[in-house]
Amino acid sequence: MTPAMEKLAACFASLPSIGRKSAARLAYHVLEMEEADVRTFAESLLEVKRAIRLCSVCQGYCEDEVCRYCSDEQRDKSVIMCVEDQKALEAIEGLHEYRGQYHVLHGVISPIDGIGPDKLKVKELLSRLNEEVKEVIIATNPSVEGEATAMYLGRLLKPLGVKVTRLAYGLPVGGTLEYADHTTLWKAIEGRTEV
Amino acid sequence: MTPAMEKLAACFASLPSIGRKSAARLAYHVLEMEEADVRTFAESLLEVKRAIRLCSVCQGYCEDEVCRYCSDEQRDKSVIMCVEDQKALEAIEGLHEYRGQYHVLHGVISPIDGIGPDKLKVKELLSRLNEEVKEVIIATNPSVEGEATAMYLGRLLKPLGVKVTRLAYGLPVGGTLEYADHTTLWKAIEGRTEV
């Protein structure tokens, strides 16, 4: 491979679940793509970093000051669903069942990785709690870190007089929320238990 | 997903063997990458289209007028190995056994796809035949189209007084050359037969 090809293949190989051989194939594919399509691809990469910022309310990704979920007046303002990341938010939204608010934590508590509550969007969550908010649903992944985060948030929020619930263990332990099937995910939301 | 994310995910999904869900994951990954790394990725994409051209001798991909194989004076000039594409060339070169010349056809004859010999780099191959060239090894894939191309080239080249050989059928029929293991691939080169 030429140096330019090696460089592109290395970029592909740095992405998750793309191995060395797949990366080389993708680089060859790019070489055979139309110039305009490659340009679109390159611009899309840069655009994502340029255009996307955090919603000032829920901290989810958006391209405006406030995301479409937070600015939707039709949605229930009495409940906030706390998720680890945007992928989990999209998975729940994909059910077309939940009509409350969201809050994106951008991670979970993980002492082994040096991630404490201060690294998460917890402060921003606290600032959203007012008399309108009746319930906070903690929808972190069913992992050790997700559980620890749920426990932490439960202890933090309950004294403030808000109901704190956790998704039911219908989810397969150790999995990630975004790959759960719709029924399991919705059952977990329905069967949520108080922390 | 926001419009910018949708657009990037669509770009990833247009690549071979990347599905809709993987594409979304990759787009999220890009969002969390360092800005400098995303810039490198975008530039690498454009650079591949800008820097790479066809070697004026073997028609392989290179970044100069003549590729490193054709400009290597240590390589045997009496034999030319004809391959379908650059991936096959790299697979053979990866053996570190073959020290002759290459010629990249950029495809195979495939009437069903409307690809005749005029769409391949056959003219360029003919122009390379001189008294120095003693043998042309046809290393197209062991597929119907690869065989048809080998037959065509055999009939075209033999009257010109050059020896024309074909890789031995040690290769698994229906497979592609780039995924063959080293031993099988080298046995196929060694056991090549006259067309």
What are the domain boundaries of chain A?
3-51, 74-194
Rounded average pLDDT over B29-48: 93
CA-based torsion, B5, B8, B13, B18: positive or negative: negative
pLDDT digits over A150-186, tens only?
Answer: 999 999 999 999 999 988 766 666 777 677 777 777 7
CB interface of A with B, residues 69-98, below 8 Å: 85-87, 90
**Residue from B26, B41, B92 to probe the interface with A (highest A Cβ count within 10 Å):** B41
Rounded Cα distance, B145 and B84, in Å: 10
With CA atoms as reference, the chain B residue closest to A3 would be: B63
Predicted complex ipTM exceeds 0.85: no
Record the pTM: 0.71
pLDDT digits over B124-134, tens only?
Answer: 999 999 999 99
User: In one letter, which amino acid is B174?
Assistant: G
Residue B169 touches partner A, C-beta closer than 8 Å: no
| CATH T-level assignment (fold) for domain B74-194 | Dna Topoisomerase Vi A Subunit; Chain: A, domain 2 (3.40.1360)
Q: Which of A34-43, A128-137, B153-162, B168-177 has the lowest mean pLDDT?
A: B168-177
Q: Contact B185/B179 with Cβ under 8 angstroms?
A: no
Q: Which CATH architecture has domain A3-51?
A: Orthogonal Bundle (1.10)
* Chain A residues with CB-CB distance to B5 below 8 A: 48, 52, 61
Q: Contact B140/B105 with Cβ under 8 angstroms?
A: yes
